[in-house]
Structure 1
């Protein structure tokens, strides 16, 4: 059978007759295009898997065999990281609920001074972290405004013999306040200088020699404000505390009640006794 030569081909056959070089070029171009599509699809697949790994570590890893090993390592790392963060937060929270030793010592030192009992015989029985709404509440004020000026600190109970004393202390330990309702009776703990000052005043008022006068009771107290300190019968509920003593002096058939501050600079006789 004879084939026609190129010159004898019909116009239709001539249109579809392509050189070999052109065919090779078309083939390489097709392969390259196919390869780019494969890479692009793989990149898209990975980008879809990664958010799933972050949100649900186990799910994406289970659906992808190729990423199995990497997913397992990533999941273990994520769980370990979350575990350490949770443990750190828990430890920090627990530490914030523990009364610092230096603050406990400051409170026990104050209780020891007031009760004349060695620190080793005193014990903190309870310590609760609190946010006091304002300084008035922090200082055990009974009637306080609604001003919000918070004081971060602690409410602490101290066992003193058979009694329990309540303290408020700020978080720095610079302010240690004993509940004014607590009174420690300690006849021998009042400084001798205060005793001498009070006896001298009682002697001058009663015209009785100091040798014939005797302090029968001395109670350490925190007076709510200057009005209460001065034996005021009608006082406001202002809380402006004065630390000091309530002292009873006896001479013959008479007795006098005094209030004296801690420094001895203010000595006030009960007006009822002065009028007798």
Structure 2
């Protein structure tokens, strides 16, 4: 089972969501004839996993900002969160036990957060909800990154983004093991299933953030556009396992769940293998359902399109702080 992304959708939809919406509503629903008469059902509105994920991430960000602001004796608003990435920690101390400290041995799902304040970068670890927050060493985030890799990444970023090297900053670097595509797949490209040691490097400039994947010596450098904040787009974080939706049932190809807007409502669109497209909408406690039918050929074509979405697997494109009138959409499929 592969789970696609949560998307924040303001009045100006992001490119990825726009593509997904066009594919589903344009190719599938738009090409179909009504299959059943709409029904009115009574049902209360329920909270979506995306909403719980939003609150958890907000709590983590606020906990890190609060802790660093207290340490530096500065207003919390002067602490900027650069990135936040899903991690699994080895114990209740988040892998940062103090001498003589006793830690629970249970694995903890959480986050690794990069923050900046006073022109410096700090790395934090947290649990899933920000209740436990610990600061890593004050060493720069890219202290262990080999110089040859650092140079290769900055040079690649400078050329691709047309930004001078001296205006780029590496704010995070961590060792990773990639496949033959360095973890960045493309449509119709087969990735060799070999283990390639390398690095995941985060580059920032002017409030934007780019994520690069490299091999061990920096001779291969690739931009991960799905994980980057490019041209004002939203930088994603990974969705926690407990916030994922239920697996799709047998015979279901794809499902999208949209929630929010000026007049909050929930819309669930489900595509079945036999060509049925069912759209359920919950609005002010009332539920309506519409059904359509598309051809098997269209279903198969849509399946092929989904293969190019694997780079967005389990990514959450959360709304910016202060955003209003937005819709959160979760896309779910059987395969990426």
TM-score higher than 0.5 here? no
Task: Determine which structure has more spread, i.e. the larger CA radius of gyration.
Answer: 1
Flag the structure with more relative contact order, 1 or 2, with Cα contacts below 8 A and sequence separation at least 6: 2
User: Which has the larger strand fraction?
Assistant: 2
Q: TM-score, normalised by structure 2?
A: 0.25
User: Which has the larger helix fraction?
Assistant: 1
